[in-house]
Chain A
Amino acid sequence: MSGTDIVLQDVRKVYYKDRLEIPVLEGLDLRVDAGDFVALMGPSGSGKSTLLHLIGGLDRPTSGQVRVGQAELHRMSERQLTAWRSRHVGFIFQMYHLVPVLTAAQNVELPLLLFRMPARQRRQRVQVALDVVGLGDRMDHRPNQLSGGQEQRVAIARAIVTDPDVILADEPTGDLDAATSSEILDLLRLLNSEFGKTIVMVTHDPRAAARSRRTLHLDKGVLDREELHAATPTGAGA
C-alpha cells in the first residue's frame, strides 16, 4: 500500500434497531488507489453512505479492516478518528451545511481553527481555497447571498482548505440543476487531476458518476460490479 491508498478488507457493518440486526455491508473488499476518482452508486440501502462514512472515519466497521494511507481506522478511538479526519479528509455534503451567520471566508476558515496557525497564514489559505473554486471575489458574502452552486463551491473550498489527501462527497450535485452540477463535477475533476486528490463520491446520477474514473456499483452490501470511464473533458456537461 502506498501514499493514501484506501483499502477495505472483509468489512462488515451491522446496525441494530430495536434489537433487530440490520446488515448493511457484508464482507466488502475495496481498494482505491491514491489519486483515483471513484463514484459509488447503488439503490437506496445498498450501503453507499455507510461505506463513505467508514472511509472517512465517521463510523467504525463491525468487523474487518479499513486502512487509509498508514492509518488503521478500525483500530482508532473516536477521539483519534476525529483528529485524523481534521488532517486527512475533506467532506462535501449534498446540502452544503454552511454556517449561515458566517461569511464564505469564515466558513472556509472553520476547519483551520483546529490548527495552530497564524491568522495571516489562515487568511492566505482561505483565499487560495476560494480562488481554486472560483469564488475569490465572494469572500464576504454570506450563504444566503450565494446561489446553490456557489454554496457548494464554498463547501468544497472548506473541504480542501486543510489540503487533505482524500475528499469524500456525498451526493454533491443532488440539490443542483444540471448546469451547476456540471460545474461542480468539473471542479472535482480539477481537484483530482490537477491537485492529485483522491475522491470518493456517492451519487444516484449516472451522468455524474460518468465524470469519475470508475464507478463501483453496490447492491445489498456487496460490490456488484465496476465500470471504468474514459476520461471526459471538463465542461462536457452532466
Chain B
Amino acid sequence: MTVTYVLMQNLRRNPLRSALTCLAFALPMAVFVAALSFVVALRDMAQANEKQLRLAVHHKTSIINLLPEGMRRRIEALDPQRQRLTAVCGMRWFGGRVPGTPNTLTSLAADADTFPAVYAEVGLTPAEIEAWQRDRRAAVVGRGPAEQHGWKVGGRAVLESTVPPYLSLEFTIIRILDDPQRANVFYFRRDYMDEALREAGWDADKVNIFWVKCVSAEALRSLQQDIDALFADTPDETKSEDENAFIANFTQAAGDIPGLMKAMAVVVVFIIALVAGNTMMMSFRERTRELAVFKAIGFQSWRIFGIVLGESLLLAMAGSLLGIVPAALVLALAPARGMNVGPINALEVSPAAVAGSLIIAAAVGAAAGLWPAVQGLRLRTVDALRIPG
C-alpha cells in the first residue's frame, strides 16, 4: 500500500460525490479541449499560411461581389518579369454538396493553369498536374468527404450547388488530400464551372477572389499596395490582404470565434474551480478528525498538505481525462467533417490542446485543493480530535 493508493481509495469514500465532481470536470473539459483545439488549429493554420506568401485580392465591398476574371491579366502585368509574384489564381465559390446530404463542402473552382503553382503545398505530383490540366472535370478533394462518400482516385463524384443557378456537376477525382486543414475541401477547374454557368444563362468569367502567390513577404506587402492602387476608383475596387488577415476577417464575419472560445474557456475554468473548491472543502471538513489521527500517528503536516492537495489533483485529472479522452476519440474517429466551422475543415484534438487542458485541469485542481490543504497544514491535532462527531 502507498499514500497514492490511500488517496485513490479516498475518492471511493463518497462515490456519488466523486462521480459528480468528476463529471463536473469532465463535461466542461470536453468542451474546453475542443475550444482549445479550435484556437490551436487556427494558430497552426496561420503559421502554415504565413509560409505560403499568398495575397487575397477581393472586392472592397464584400467577398460576395464578383470580380471580372480579366483583372488577373492586369495584376500579372504589375510584375511582368515575375520578380515579385509567381502566379495568380482566380477562385469562385461553388457552394456544392453531395446530393441528399445537408452539409456544404468548401467547394472552390480554381484557374486550371495556375492552381498547382499557387497551391504548391497541396503537393500535386506531375502526373496529377497532368491529369488536372487534361481533364476539365478533375477534382482534388479532402479526406473527409472522400471517406464519407467512398470516393476513390479515378472515381466519379457529383456535387450540386446550393446557390443559384443550382448547378449539378460531375467530377473525376484525381487526388485525395490527407492534410487535416483541407479535410473538407473540393477543388475543381473554374472553366468547367463557367461552361455550366453559361449553359444555364448565368454570369460566367467572374471570381470571388484572386490568390496572388508572392516570392517574399516584402513583395507581398508591395503588391498589396500596388493592386489596391491599380483598381482604386473603379467599379471593381479591391481590398488585398495576406491570407491570415483574410481568414481572420472571414472567420470573424460570424463573430470573434477565437475570442468567444477563449471567453468560454475562462468561464468554464472558473465554474470548475468553484465546484471543485466547494467539494474539496466539504471533503476536508468531513475528515478533519481523521486527518488529525493521521497526524497523531506520525504523519507530518506537509504530508497532510500533500494528501489533501493530491486528492484534489487526482479528482481534477481523473475528471479531465474522462472528458478529454472521449472528446479526442470522437473528433479523431469522426473529424468534424462537413461542419464547415469557419476556416477549420477538420477539427481534431491536438496534442497541444490536450496538454494545455491537462495543465489547466491540474492548475484548477491545485487551486481548488489549496485552501483545504493549507487548513490541513495548520491543523492542530488536539483541537481537531476534540471536534464532536
Q: What does the 1/0 interface line of B1-45 toward A look like (CB < 8 Å)?
A: 111001001101100000000000000000000000000000000
Pick the contact of B10 from A86, A97, A101, A111 — CB < 8 Å?
A101
In Å, the complex CA distance between A122 and B301 comes to: 23
Q: Which of A2-10, A53-61, A173-181, A219-227 contacts B (4 or more CB under 8 A)?
A: A53-61
Q: Which of A25-33, A66-74, A102-110, A190-198 contacts B (4 or more CB under 8 A)?
A: A102-110
Pick the contact of A99 from B290, B295, B296 — CB < 8 Å?
B290
Is B293 a contact of A97 with CB atoms below 8 Å?
A: yes
In Å, the complex CA distance between A49 and B382 comes to: 9
Which residues of chain B come closer than 8 Å to A95, judged between CB atoms? 289
Is B298 a contact of A109 with CB atoms below 8 Å?
A: no
Which B residues, 368 to 389, have Cβ-Cβ distances below 8 Å to chain A?
Answer: 381-382, 385-386
> Smallest distance from the beta carbon of B305 to chain A beta carbons, Å?
13
> Smallest distance from the beta carbon of A109 to chain B beta carbons, Å?
5
Q: Which of A34-42, A76-84, A145-153 contacts B (4 or more CB under 8 A)?
A: A76-84
Pick the contact of B297 from A50, A78, A110 — CB < 8 Å?
A110
Which residues of A line the B interface, CB within 8 A? 49-50, 53, 56, 58-59, 78-79, 82-83, 85-87, 90-91, 93, 95, 97, 99-102, 106, 109-111, 113-114, 122, 158, 162, 170
> Smallest distance from the beta carbon of A94 to chain B beta carbons, Å?
10
Pick the contact of A59 from B12, B294, B382 — CB < 8 Å?
B382
In Å, the complex CA distance between A99 and B5 comes to: 13
In Å, the complex CA distance between A99 and B9 comes to: 10
Closest to A109 in B: B1
Is B6 a contact of A102 with CB atoms below 8 Å?
A: yes
> Smallest distance from the beta carbon of B319 to chain A beta carbons, Å?
19
B299 on the A face (CB < 8 A): yes
- Residue pairs across A and B with CB atoms within 8 Å: the count is 68
29 contacts between A and B (CB under 8 A): A58-B296, A58-B381, A58-B385, A59-B382, A78-B301, A82-B295, A82-B298, A82-B300, A83-B298, A87-B298, A90-B297, A91-B293, A91-B296, A91-B297, A97-B289, A97-B290, A99-B6, A101-B10, A101-B12, A102-B9, A106-B9, A110-B294, A111-B297, A111-B298, A113-B2, A113-B3, A114-B299, A122-B1, A170-B385
Which residues of chain A come closer than 8 Å to B289, judged between CB atoms? 95, 97
Closest to B287 in A: A99
> Smallest distance from the beta carbon of B171 to chain A beta carbons, Å?
63
Given contacts A97-B290, A99-B6, contact A158 B297 (CB under 8 A): yes
Is A113 a contact of B1 with CB atoms below 8 Å?
A: yes
In Å, the complex CA distance between A10 and B3 comes to: 40
Which B residues, 262 to 301, have Cβ-Cβ distances below 8 Å to chain A?
Answer: 289-290, 293-301
Is B9 a contact of A114 with CB atoms below 8 Å?
A: no
Which residues of chain A come closer than 8 Å to B10, judged between CB atoms? 99, 101
> Smallest distance from the beta carbon of A200 to chain B beta carbons, Å?
14
Which residues of chain B come closer than 8 Å to A50, judged between CB atoms? 382
Pick the contact of B298 from A59, A86, A97, A102 — CB < 8 Å?
A86
Residue with the greatest number of chain B CB neighbours at <10 A, chosen from A83, A99, A111: A99
Which residues of chain B come closer than 8 Å to A79, judged between CB atoms? 300-301
> Smallest distance from the beta carbon of B283 to chain A beta carbons, Å?
12
Is A100 a contact of B382 with CB atoms below 8 Å?
A: no
In Å, the complex CA distance between A179 and B299 comes to: 34
> Smallest distance from the beta carbon of B384 to chain A beta carbons, Å?
10
Which residues of chain B come closer than 8 Å to A90, judged between CB atoms? 297
Which residues of chain B come closer than 8 Å to A170, judged between CB atoms? 385
Is B300 a contact of A100 with CB atoms below 8 Å?
A: no
Given contacts A58-B381, A91-B293, A113-B2, contact A82 B301 (CB under 8 A): yes
Which residues of chain A come closer than 8 Å to B298, judged between CB atoms? 82-83, 85-87, 111, 114, 162
Is A58 a contact of B1 with CB atoms below 8 Å?
A: no
In Å, the complex CA distance between A114 and B298 comes to: 7
